[in-house]
């Protein structure tokens, strides 16, 4: 079946502009995660959605970052007033309903954001 998709694959924006990144998870997956990965580095957790529960926003680096998930499926990560330090690859992952943590996450190809 289809995997996790993300769009756009690349985004170049000017400092101060707002950007929206989209994630379409695997059908039936109720858990959705956003991560940030700087060049050649590890993953930085941003936000987690599980079904209709309130999201865990503890990883969002500032109030310029927000995310929503509509209808329990597609998610949008919005970065307002982008800064150069926001440049990174933004990864989305989804997994089956979390019951005891045994399910692996499936990742999309990522969106490479460059702020000039």
Partner 1 sequence: AQSVAQPEDQVNVAEGNPLTVKCTYSVSGNPYLFWYVQYPNRGLQFLLKYITGDNLVKGSYGFEAEFNKSQTSFHLKKPSALVSDSALYFCAVREDSNYQLIWGAGTKLIIKP
Minimum Å gap between C-beta 86 and partner 1 is: 19
| Shortest distance in whole angstroms from residue 97 CB to partner 1 | 10
- How far apart CA 55 and CA 43 sit, in angstroms, is 19
Cα–Cα distance measured from residue 68 to residue 78, given in angstroms and rounded to the nearest whole number? 9
Are the beta carbons of 39 and 114 closer than 8 angstroms?
A: no
DSSP for 59-111, written as a single string: T--STTEEEEESTTS-EEEEE-S--GGG-EEEEEEEES--STT-PPPEE---E
Q: Residue 107 CB, nearest distance to partner 1 (Å)? A: 4
1 vs 100, which CB is nearer to partner 1?
100
The residues binding partner 1 (CB under 8 A) are: 4, 31, 33, 40-43, 45, 48, 50, 56, 91, 93, 98, 100-102, 104-110
Q: How large is the C-alpha radius of gyration of the chain?
A: 14
Which residue, 47 or 115, has its beta carbon nearer to partner 1?
A: 47
Shortest Å, Cβ 5 to partner 1: 10
Please identify, using beta-carbon distances, which residue of 16 and 51 lies nearer to partner 1.
51
């Amino acid at each position: 079946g289809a995997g996790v998709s993300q769009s756009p694959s690349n985004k170049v924006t000017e400092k101060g502009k707002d950007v929206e990144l989209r994630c379409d998870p695997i059908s039936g997956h109720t858990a959705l995660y956003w991560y940030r990965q700087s060049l050649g580095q590890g993953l930085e957790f941003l936000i987690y959605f599980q079904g209709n529960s309130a999201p865990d926003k503890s990883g969002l680096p500032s109030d310029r970052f927000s995310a929503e998930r509509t209808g329990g499926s597609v998610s949008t990560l919005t970065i307002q007033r982008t800064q150069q330090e926001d440049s990174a690859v933004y990864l989305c992952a989804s997994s089956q309903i979390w019951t005891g943590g045994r399910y692996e996450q499936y990742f999309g190809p990522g969106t490479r954001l460059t702020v000039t």
